[in-house]
Structure 1
C-alpha cells in the first residue's frame, strides 16, 4: 500500500478537494483478471469507449495462460480480429455448441457483417455457451472507434446473465477539445455531461459519464468495475487518481475503480479511505 493525503487543485477539474488514498499495485507483473476480481465461470461485459477491444483480447490472453477455455464475442458489432489474436474462430452463428472445445484457448464466435466487422451470437445461443466455457468475455458497447461516447436508451447491450460489467474510460481525453470526431453520439453525451462543442474535456465530464443514470453503467448487471485506461504518464496517473477521488461515494462502495494501461500491461486499484 502507498497511503497518502493531499489537497489537490486541478486546473482541468476547476475545483479544490482533499482526499486520502491507498494505491494497491496488484503485482509486479499484474494480472488484469486479478485486479478486476474476475473468476472462473464469469460472464464479463465490457462497455464504454477508449480501449474495449484491446482489453477484451488482453483478458482473453491472460485467461488462456491460466488454463481457461474462454469465449470472446460481442453483443453489438466489432471488427473481426486478425488470426494472431485467437486460437479458433466460428462465424456461423452457432458457435461451439456442436463441437465444444477441449483445450484452453481463445475462442471467438459470432456472425459476419459488412466492412470487416462481425456481430455476436443470438442471446439464447450465447447463454448456452456459458456452460461450455470457463469464462465468457463480451464487447457490449459500440463507440465507432471514438474515445468518448453518449448512450441511446437501449445502450449498452449487456446480457441479463452477466456477472461483471467493466466500464472503460479513456483518461487521455482529459484536456482535449470536444468535437464530433472525439465523441460518438454527441447529443447523448451533451445531455449526460452538459458539455458543448468546443469545450475542453475535464475530470468532471468523465465523472458524469460514469455516475449518470443514463451513462456508462445504465444497463450494468452484476459487479461494476470502472477501468481508467491509457494511464501512461505522470499526468495521466494524476488525472486517474483525481477521477478516482470523485468516484469515492459511500453509496458506490461496492464499485471497484482500477487504473492502468493495456498497452503497457500494468494496473493498480484505487482504494479510498
Structure 2
C-alpha cells in the first residue's frame, strides 16, 4: 500500500487509512495525524498522509465515516487497508472480514505467487481449516484453489466494491513467471472484468495484464 501511495504521491497528496489495524509508519517522509483538523491544516505537497487513531504504541486503528467525510475532498486518491492476515501470505476470510467501506471504487486483492502449483505449508495460512473448506485446498496451491480464492463468494473479493484488481506478487524466477501467466490466461476465461497484474513489489517491478 505504501509503494502504491509513493507512486501516486508524484501527482498529489495521498491519504492512507485502515478499517482494521496498521503499524504506524516510521518513515520520516510519511505524515501521521490523529485528527481531521490536522489533516486539513496540512499544507505539504506530494506527500503520503496516514490518518487514524493510535490504539497501541506502534499501531493505529480506523477513523469513523464522519471523519473521513471531513477530509476526503482534500485528496484525489485515498488508499484503504481493509484486511489483515497476521503477516501470513494466504488466508480464508471469516464472517466479519474484510471490512470494505461503501465509498470504495477499486478493490485490490494481493496473492503471493511463490507457491503456485506447489505444496503450501499450513502454517503459512491464516484460518487453514476454513481455507480448505472454502477453496478446496488439499496441500497444493493449484489453479483450482486460486480460482476459488478469487471467485468464491467468501473469497478475496468478498464485500468488494467497484473495480476488481488481482495483483500476483512475489515473482521470484522465470518458472514462477510462466506459471503465473498461465494462471492469469485461464482466470480471464471465468471473469474477464477482473484486472490482473503481476510483479515483485519490493523491486518495484510489474507487468500489466489488463488496463489499470
Q: TM-score, normalised by structure 1?
A: 0.71
Distance 1:241 1:64, change over 3 A: same
**Are 1:110 and 2:52 counterparts?**
yes
Distance 1:237 1:108, change over 3 A: same
C-alpha distance in 2 between matches for 1:234 and 1:65: 31
Corresponding residue to 2:30 among 62, 68, 87: 87
**Residues 40, 74 of structure 2: 8 Å contact kept:** no
C-alpha distance in 1 between matches for 2:204 and 2:142: 25
The residue aligned with 2:120 is 177
Corresponding residue to 1:192 among 119, 134, 140: 134
Q: Alignment length, in residue pairs?
A: 209
**Residues 40, 71 of structure 2: 8 Å contact kept:** no
Deviation at 1:171, TM superposition (A): 0.5
Deviation at 1:227, TM superposition (A): 0.7
C-alpha distance in 2 between matches for 1:114 and 1:162: 27
Distance 1:97 1:65, change over 3 A: closer
C-alpha distance in 1 between matches for 2:26 and 2:85: 20
The residue aligned with 2:170 is 230
Task: Please identify which structure carries the higher strand content.
Answer: 1
SS in 2 for 1:58: helix
Unaligned ranges ≥5, structure 1: 1-55
Task: Please identify which structure carries the higher helix content.
Answer: 2
C-alpha distance in 2 between matches for 1:133 and 1:258: 25
**Residues 227, 260 of structure 1: 8 Å contact kept:** yes
**Residues 203, 242 of structure 1: 8 Å contact kept:** no
**Are 1:73 and 2:73 counterparts?**
no
| Larger RCO, structure (CA 8 Å, separation 6 or more) | 1
C-alpha distance in 1 between matches for 2:110 and 2:100: 14
Corresponding residue to 1:258 among 197, 203, 211: 197
The residue aligned with 2:149 is 209
C-alpha distance in 2 between matches for 1:217 and 1:185: 17
Deviation at 1:120, TM superposition (A): 2.0
Q: TM-score, normalised by structure 2?
A: 0.90
**Are 1:244 and 2:187 counterparts?**
no
C-alpha distance in 2 between matches for 1:218 and 1:168: 14
CA RMSD of aligned residues (A): 1.9
After superposition, what is the alpha-carbon deviation per residue over 1:207-234, rounded to whole angstroms, capped at 9, x for unaligned? 2111111100011101111111111311
